[in-house]
Amino acid sequence: MGKMISFALNGNKMAVEVKDHWTLLHLLREELGLLGTKEGCGSGECGACTVIVDGMAVNSCLFPGLEIAEKDVVTIEGLTSPDGTLHPLQKSFVENGGIQCGYCTPGMIMSAKALLDESPNATEEEIKHSLAGNICRCTGYVQIIDSIKSISEGGVEEVHVVAWKNKEKDE
């Protein structure tokens, strides 16, 4: 069984047929060919599959594909400009040694982006709390946290990380 749904993927409106049992991860990788988003555990534990839906970081491996109808989905592919310029977070990961094998990197960067969009000057504590669901087997995390801190401590104006507004607000 499948249904036609429309949603925005990295800013582009599109309509696709989605089978009822597909996860968002399956849709992205197997149907749309976007291989930036990784599958690690497939069960919510590792964060390699993290993407941003309506401003919120989610595990795409557990996200029902049909639930993205009328929503904004941002994946790691959406961060790089069409001319190839890296997003400041990507650049910072490269410059600070936040990447070794790179398998966790797309998920790490998407989690970090969701955090910084919401609180651009996040503290180290907030960064650690927000990355608790992203496992890295290589770096030991220090360089990853440094990569994010160098943005959160660097001031917002220069880096334009505020792209997506979170819908839900505290009452």
Partner 1 sequence: MKQFAYLVPRSLDEAISFHEAHGDRAKYVAGGTDVLVKIKEGKILPDYLISLKHILGQDRPLLNQETGELYIGSFVTHRMIEKSAIVRIHYPILHDAIRNIGSVQIRNVATIGGNLVNAVPSADGAIPLITLDATANIQGPKGERSVDLARFFLGPGLCDLERSEILIEIVVPPLLLRTGSAYIKFGRREAMELPMLGVGVLLSLGESSVTCVKARICLGVAAPTPIRALEAEAFLVGKPIDGGTLEKAGKIAAKESRVRDSIRGVAWYRREMVGVLVKRMGLKCMERIKKLAQ
Q: Which chain residues interact with ligand FAD by CB under 6 A?
A: 43-45
By three-state DSSP, how is residue 66 classified?
helix
Q: Nearest approach, Cβ of 108 to ligand FAD (angstroms)?
A: 16
In sequence order, what E strands does 45-169 have? 50-53, 56-59, 72-74
> Which residue number has the CB closest to ligand FAD?
44
* Contact residue for ligand FES among 72, 103, 110, 145 (CB under 6 A): 103
Q: Pick the closer one to ligand FAD by CB: 14 or 69.
A: 69
* Contact residue for partner 1 among 20, 30, 124, 153 (CB under 8 A): 20
Q: Nearest approach, Cβ of 50 to ligand FAD (angstroms)?
A: 12
Rule CB under 8 A: is residue 168 a binding residue for partner 1?
A: yes
Q: Nearest approach, Cβ of 17 to partner 1 (angstroms)?
A: 13
Count of Cβ atoms closer than 10 Å to residue 170 Cβ: 3
Rule CB under 8 A: is residue 171 a binding residue for partner 1?
A: yes
| Burial (CB count <10 Å: 0-12, 13-18, 19+), residue 95 | exposed
- Answer for the pair 112, 122: CB distance below 8 angstroms, yes or no: no
Q: Nearest approach, Cβ of 87 to ligand FES (angstroms)?
A: 18
d(CA 79, CA 82) in angstroms, rounded, equals 9
Cβ-based neighbours of 33, under 8 Å, separated by 6 or more: none
Q: Return the residues of window 83-142 that contact partner 1 according to CB under 8 A.
A: 111, 114-115, 129-130, 132-134
The DSSP bridge pattern shows strands 72-74 and 2-9 to be parallel
- Where on the chain is the footprint of ligand FES (CB under 6 A)? 39-42, 44-49, 59, 61, 99-104, 136-139
